[in-house]
Amino acid sequence: MRKIGLAVILLLPSLCLMANAQRLPDNAAPDGYRITLAPNFEKDNFTGDETIQIRVLKPTANLVLNALDIEFQEATISAGGRTQTAKVSVDSVKQMATLSLAKPLAAGPATVHIRYTGILNDQLRGFYLSKANGRKYAVTQFEATDARRAFPSFDEPAYKATFDVTALVDKGDTAISNGKIISDTPGPIAGKHTIQFATTPRMSSYLVALAVGDFEYVEGSADGVPIRVWATPGKKAMAHYALEVAEQCMKYFNNYFGIKYPFEKLDLIGLPDFAAGAMENTAAITFRDALLLVNEKHAPNFAYKEIGAVISHEMAHQWFGDLVTMQWWDDIWLNEGFATWMESKPLEAWKPEWHMELDDVLDSGNTLNTDSLQNTRPIHQAADSPDQIEELFDGIAYGKAAAVLRMLEAYLGPEDFRAGVDAYQRAHA
C-alpha cells in the first residue's frame, strides 16, 4: 500500500491501547472461499452469499470468524455427512462472530455457508461507496483488517486461501476483481447480470478486491500478460501513460526476479474516493485516480515521476506482499520496505534522466529525520489490535526498511543481494 505522504502518517491515531485478544483461535483454517456480492445503490448496502471450505484442526463446537458491520441471515456448517445450523453471536469490539454448534465438529474438512447483508459505508474501508459523475460506485479497500466488513473470514494474513468471487451488478455496469472474468450472464434478477471471476491463487484476505460501476479502460500487454488501466467515464484518455509505465515495469520485474509475474492478468483501477495512495490487491491494484491518471497536455513534469513511482511500488508488491506475505502485521516492513526499495529500479532503467538514485538519497535523508524523533520505533514492532496495526504503516516500515535494504545491497553487491532476494521469494512463495 502506498500512503499519500508524511502528513497522512502524522494524522494516524497515536493510540496506545491495551490490546484485547483479537487474534483468531487456532482450531480451524480456510482452504477456499466462494463469495457472491450484490451491491444495492438504492439502499447503500449489499447482500452476500459465502461458502468457506475449511479444515478443522482440533475438535470444536465453536468456529470463530472475523466480521464487522455484518448482519447474519443464516449460518450452517456441514461435516461428516451432517449439516448443523449455527447459533451466531457477534462481538463488535473484537470484530468477531462465533458460530456455535450443538454437536462438536471432529478434526477434518468442513463446509461453512453464510447468507448475510452488509453496509456500503462512507468510510473508504471495507466494501464502500465511491462517487463520480453524479453516480455511485462500490469498491473495496481491505488492508489491513477490513475484509471482515465485506465477508466473514479468517481475516489474518497467514490464513491464505483461494477465492472464487461473483458479482451481481446492474445492467450497464461492470465489475473488476482479482481473477479474469470467466462468465457474464443476464439475471437472475431483471435489470441485473452476474459476473463470475476465475479462482485466485492462494492469497490473504486483505488482498481481495472488487470494483463495481461503469468503468472504462485502455489495454495493452507485456511479456504476454494482459494489462488494463481502468477509470470512471471521462477519464479514460488520461490512462495511457499509466499503461506505458505498467508495461515497462512488468518487463523489468520479470527480468529482475527469478519468478515471473505470478498472476494471469493485471488491472490498475483509478478511483475518485480512496483513502490510501494505492493498494496492491493481487492482480487488481486500486489507486487514488490522481496517482494513476495524467492529463498529458497540462501535467507538470514531477507528476510523471510520482505516478511512475506509485505504479512501480504497487507492482513490486505483487512479489513482495502478494506472492510472499508476512505471517503477521508486525513484519509489514517485509511488504513495504521491499516495495519501497524496489520502486525506483524500473524507472531508473527506463528514464535515466530522472536520476531516481537522488530520490533514494532524499528518501533516506527524510527517514533519518523521522528516526531521530524521540518517539521513533524499531522496524519490527509488535501489534495486535486493528488500531495498533494501522499505526505500523509509517515512515519506518516504508523508508527505514528500504534504507536498510539499500545499505545491505551496497555492502553485499547488487548481484549477490539479488540472488538472496530470489532465494527468499522461492523459499516463501
Strand stretches in 133-191, DSSP E = 135-141, 162-170, 174-177, 181-186
Residues labelled as active-site residues? 314
Query: What stretch of H or E contains 110?
Result: strand 108-119
pLDDT at 6: 39
Number of H helices, E strands in the chain: 10, 20
Residue 96 contacts residue 65 (beta carbons within 8 Å): yes
Distance (Å, whole) CA 7 – CA 5: 5
Q: Hey, is 154 helix, strand or coil?
A: coil
pLDDT at 2: 72
The verdict on domain 6-17+216-428 having CATH code 1.10.390.10 is yes
The grid cell for 214 is 461503469
pLDDT at 8: 39
Distance (Å, whole) CA 385 – CA 96: 12
**Partners of 222 in the β-ladder:** 225
Could you please state the CATH topology (level 3) that the domain comprising 29-213 is classified under: Immunoglobulin-like (2.60.40)
What are the extents of the domains in the chain?
Answer: 6-17+216-428, 29-213
Tens-of-pLDDT digits for all 429 residues of the chain? 876 653 333 333 333 333 445 899 999 999 999 999 999 999 999 999 999 999 999 999 999 999 999 999 999 999 999 999 999 999 999 999 999 999 999 999 999 999 999 999 999 999 999 999 999 999 999 999 999 999 999 999 999 999 999 999 999 999 999 999 999 999 999 999 999 999 999 999 999 999 999 999 999 999 999 999 999 999 999 999 999 999 999 999 999 999 999 999 999 999 999 998 999 999 999 999 999 999 988 899 899 999 999 999 999 999 999 999 999 999 999 999 999 999 999 999 999 999 999 999 999 999 999 999 999 999 999 999 999 999 999 999 999 999 999 999 999 999 999 999 999 999 999
Widest pairwise Cα distance in the chain: 68
Phi–psi pair at 242, nearest 5 degrees: -60, -40
**Among residues 281, 42, 64, 288, which one has the least CA distance to residue 154?**
64
Query: What stretch of H or E contains 75?
Result: strand 70-79
pLDDT at 17: 38
Q: Hey, is 320 helix, strand or coil?
A: strand
pLDDT at 21: 56
Distance (Å, whole) CA 214 – CA 232: 7
Distance (Å, whole) CA 145 – CA 392: 13
pLDDT at 4: 60
Apex 396 CA angle, 393 and 400, nearest 5: 140
**Among residues 260, 176, 204, 191, which one has the least CA distance to residue 66?**
204
Could you tell me the end-to-end alpha-carbon distance of the chain, in angstroms, rounded to an integer? 19
